[in-house]
Amino acid sequence: MLETFAPIREKIATGERLDFEDGVTLMESDDLLALGELADLARRQRGGGDEVFFIQNLYLNQTNVCRVKCKFCAFAKTQKQEDAYTLTADELAADAVAMYEHTKFTEIHCVNGENPHVDLEFYADVLRKLKAALPEVHLKFYTASEIHHMSKLEGCSHEEVLRVLKDAGLGSLPGGGAEIFADRVRKLIAPGKEHPDEWFDVHDTAHRMGIPTHCTLLYGHVETYEERVDHLLRLRAQQDETGGFLAFIPLAFHPENTVFERRGFKFTTGADDLKMIAVSRLLLDNIPNVKAYWIMMGMPMAQVALHFGANDVQGTVVREQIFQAAGATSGTEQKVGELVRFVQEAGRTPVQRDTLYNELRRW
Ligand code: SF4
């Protein structure tokens, strides 16, 4: 196995970029410890230290009404379903302010269904009201898919939508909606979703307007290793162009309450989760942060992932609904003290950050 990795190790040691074949070789390996060691080496080689970042953040969803019907989704509802909801800007702002009384989060992360019954003003209004109520809080709102949806609703360009939202208080975009870029997979799991070119155009436009963004990959369903690698290399190419991705977050597919559960799909394994983190770190040599999203992989596995190339455990994540709807059992609130303990017991230095990775506190 060491022999298989020798040329890759050599490239990492000399700072040479890994290619598609290297990515597939890494994905096909079952030598987890070697993968972790290589990924940690790459992370340190590229300037990473012992710091592990987390943020105090609140998760909000404005509406779960969605027209798209992705097959992996357990969150979306149609307008007529009993548990469908669409909150007004005032309701959402009041909720956020009440939560802020309890926990002084520095970021709100908000993603939604693609609701066909609202307009761009619905989205801009909530940003304005939140900015007025909580001016210090960074608003990380709306995936590229939602931005594209708004541009369709409004009949305008991605840039025009982003301009309206930025003026209303938008700080950055979350990375959702990427799923897997390969056409074959997209047709199978998310046939109603926009073409990946639209996803990239939104991020490209945002970066050029000075709006940082995040990026993701949804793995553990029908994709091949080659399609995972292709996805990562497309993200890397975009980052070469515009440099605005703050972090990459691999998202493990949770089949519960989706059509995939009825077809016998299972949760990803710990081995695959760790492999995904390691290979992401190795291939994405230009994206500074790789998150081990504890809400999805569980805190113990996220702790191990810190030795497989991850340098961020996301955040305190008050109230998350999307992975919970699909069967995540990790709970939805990690208090700061608990996160600090997990990071310290992994032998690393906990650093609380803001959305833009400015250090707020270290232990
Ligand atoms: S993943 Fe997003 S776009 Fe797809 S059905 Fe669910 S809420 Fe709608």
Share above pLDDT 70 across residues of the chain, in percent, rounded to a whole number: 93
Q: Is the CB of 66 under 6 A from ligand 1?
A: yes
Q: Do the Cβ atoms of 219 and 253 come closer than 8 Å? A: yes
Q: What is the pLDDT of residue 133?
A: 97
Pairing of strands 359-362, 349-353: antiparallel
Alpha helix positions (H), 59-208: 89-102, 120-133, 144-154, 158-168, 183-189, 196-208
Q: What is the pLDDT of residue 295?
A: 82
- Our CA angle for 259, 263, 268, nearest 5°, is 90
Q: Is the CB of 68 under 6 A from ligand 1?
A: yes
C-alpha 137 – ligand 1 centre gap (Å): 26
Ligand 1 atom 4, closest CA: 70
Confidence of residue 233 (pLDDT cuts 50, 70, 90): very high
Domains assigned to the chain: 20-349 (3.20.20.70)
C-alpha 74 – ligand 1 centre gap (Å): 8
Compute the average pLDDT of residues 182-208: 95
For ligand 1, pick from 69, 143, 260 the residue to mutate: most ligand atoms within 8 Å of CB: 69
- For residue 55, the one-letter residue type is I
For ligand 1, pick from 62, 72, 75 the residue to mutate: most ligand atoms within 8 Å of CB: 75
C-alpha 258 – ligand 1 centre gap (Å): 12
Report the b/e string of 26-55 with b at 16+ CB within 10 A: bbebeebebbbbbbbbbbeeeebeebbbbb
C-alpha 271 – ligand 1 centre gap (Å): 27
The answer for residues whose C-beta is within 8 angstroms of residue 297's C-beta and 6 or more apart is 252, 270, 273, 305, 330
| pLDDT tens digits, 316-356 | 877 656 555 656 555 556 688 888 999 999 999 999 999 99
Compute the average pLDDT of residues 197-204: 98
- The 8-class DSSP code of residue 81 comes to S
Computed over every residue of the chain, the mean pLDDT equals 92
**pTM given for the model:** 0.93
Confidence of residue 240 (pLDDT cuts 50, 70, 90): very high
Share above pLDDT 90 across residues of the chain, in percent, rounded to a whole number: 79
The answer for residues whose C-beta is within 8 angstroms of residue 21's C-beta and 6 or more apart is none
Whether 298 has a pLDDT exceeding 70, the answer reads yes
C-alpha 174 – ligand 1 centre gap (Å): 14
- Our CA angle for 291, 54, 306, nearest 5°, is 45
Q: Is the CB of 199 under 6 A from ligand 1?
A: no
The answer for residues whose C-beta is within 8 angstroms of residue 83's C-beta and 6 or more apart is 64, 77
| pLDDT tens digits, 100-135 | 988 889 999 999 999 999 999 999 999 999 999 999
| pLDDT tens digits, 73-104 | 888 999 999 999 999 999 999 999 999 988 88
Provide Rg for the chain, Cα atoms.
Answer: 20
C-alpha 193 – ligand 1 centre gap (Å): 8
Compute the average pLDDT of residues 52-59: 94
- Looking from the CA of residue 64, the nearest atom of ligand 1 is 7
Comparing CA positions, the residue from 308, 294, 275, 309 lying closest to residue 341 is 294
Report the distance separating Cα 48 and Cα 106, nearest Å: 24
The answer for residues whose C-beta is within 8 angstroms of residue 61's C-beta and 6 or more apart is 75, 110, 111, 112, 321, 322
Q: What is the pLDDT of residue 127?
A: 98
C-alpha 68 – ligand 1 centre gap (Å): 6
Q: What is the pLDDT of residue 320?
A: 55
Q: What is the pLDDT of residue 328?
A: 58
Least-confidence region, from 210-214, 230-234, 263-267: 263-267
Q: What is the pLDDT of residue 31?
A: 95
